[in-house]
Amino acid sequence: MDAFYAAVEIRSRPELRGRPVVVGGGPERGVVLSASYEARAYGVRSAMPSARAHRLCPQAVFLRPDFATYAEVSRAVMAVFRSVTPLVQPLSLDEAFLDVAGALRRLGMTPLGIAASIREQVAASQGITCSVGVAPTMFVAKLASRVAKPDGVHLVPADGVRAFLDPLPVGALWGVGERTAEVLDRHGIATVADVAAAGYTTMRRAVGDAHAAHLVALAHGVDERRVDPHGREKSAGAEETFARDLVDPAVRRRELLRLADRAARMLRHRGVRARTVALKVRFDDFTTITRSRTLPAPTDLARDLHATAVDLLDALGDIAPVRLLGVRGEGLVPADRAPEQIALGEPEHGWSDAERAADQARSRFGVAAVRPASLLGDPDPTRARSPADAAEKARDGHRPQPSVSRATSPPEPNG
């Protein structure tokens, strides 16, 4: 999808069309989750600190994210993809790989014809645009989709893969980050063509055995992976950068409950349970640490995630003011393969039934319908509201207004 979060927001606010729009943290704190192309013209990018985005584009409209709406639109878009082929591997809310080899025969269409059909259906049903890369391998298709942006299609035929790859910077290769690019630059390797020409021996001296083989294969256009429609994400969670650093331990535990509740809902929605709970903490000096603990049995309950996250936080002792907290479930397993472990003496209907009943109420009446009691009130009325609060207001008939807010969740990976 093209600037997915921003596009969904603009769709519901036509008056913002043509204006720079930033979704995520407000001008003071947090990170950019999505930016319209008008904002990108000023240098604003996903994952950029919001303060920097505001300096680059002070006239931008900053909006709080509404993840419930984004998830709803994502489900509709993925349904369009699956109407073309069952071989769909989502990468995130706004991106997926499709294997259309069988669809070419079944639909009697060319690859470009299928790409055009998908883009037309998404635009007609959801009012947003997407860009499509068409290629013989997943890696090249991914790069081609970037070239196609915004709102376009780019085809790389099998006999044109090397011509497409060769001039690209070495950073285009999966697995080449900023540091690896610096190492390769010292060896005179700046483009994908340079990697292919250097070969395995030279690359091994630069980056080691395993990495060298991987990069040389990609530079030659070789990618053996296949679209896996059954592939599952490895983790699910939520994190927030706060408008004010958290000093009070009670407030930190309260915010962990909010995050655990969101993470648990995400796990149940995906039909998975987590073997491990991970805690992420970023302090006021931007130092970031993570701690994790494997559970006796997999869980999808906020109660379990919260209790473990609190234990991990308390184990840190007396800590500096906290800028960001995150709770994540890892080591995910299908819920139907990880039956709940009932402790001796527990009632027949316990926390699991309660949280699932809450899910049903939320799906019918909105997220604000049911939540932990300690999250009902906000002791500090000047505190920036969370994205979940913004989504709840929207579902209750109130239009979210541009504001300073706390930024959460990963930014869009490609868009």
- DSSP 3-state of 273: strand
Query: In terms of Cα–Cα distance, which of 266, 309, 326 is closest to 92?
Result: 266
Query: How far lies 263's CA from each of 272, 291, 375, in Å?
Result: 11, 16, 15
Provide the pLDDT for residue 407: 38
Q: Strands 21-24, 61-63: parallel, antiparallel or unpaired by DSSP? A: parallel
* Rounded CA separation 244/406 (Å): 9
- Tens digits of residue pLDDT in 133-186: 999 999 999 999 999 999 999 999 999 999 999 999 999 998 888 888 898 999
* Cα 96 off chain centre by: 12
Total-model pTM: 0.65
Domains in the chain: ranges and CATH: 4-66 (3.40.1170.60), 68-160 (3.30.70.270), 166-219 (1.10.150.20), 235-395 (3.30.1490.100)
Q: Is the pLDDT of residue 92 over 90?
A: no
- Tens digits of residue pLDDT in 324-371: 999 999 988 888 765 555 554 554 445 556 555 655 554 554 445 455
Provide the pLDDT for residue 272: 86
Provide the pLDDT for residue 159: 95
> Do residues 279 and 327 lie in contact, with contact meaning Cβ atoms separated by under 8 Å?
yes
- Tens digits of residue pLDDT in 22-65: 998 766 677 899 999 999 999 999 888 888 999 999 999 999 88
Q: Which of 92-106, 250-264, 270-284, 396-410 shows the lowest mean pLDDT across its residues?
A: 396-410
> Do residues 402 and 26 lie in contact, with contact meaning Cβ atoms separated by under 8 Å?
no
Provide the pLDDT for residue 409: 47
Provide the pLDDT for residue 30: 77
Q: Give me the chain's average pLDDT, please.
A: 83
User: Which residues are catalytically annotated?
Assistant: 95
Question: The tokens 């479930």 sit on which residue?
Answer: 329
> Do residues 8 and 47 lie in contact, with contact meaning Cβ atoms separated by under 8 Å?
no
Provide the pLDDT for residue 401: 34
* Rounded CA separation 415/408 (Å): 18
pLDDT interval class at 20 (50, 70, 90): very high
More confident residue, 188 or 345: 188
More confident residue, 395 or 23: 23
**Starting from the edge strand earliest in sequence, which strands make up the sheet with 61-63, in order?**
32-35, 21-24, 61-63
- Tens digits of residue pLDDT in 66-82: 888 998 999 999 999 99
* Cα 377 off chain centre by: 29
CB atoms within 10 A of CB 172: 17
Provide the pLDDT for residue 123: 96
* Rounded CA separation 101/227 (Å): 11
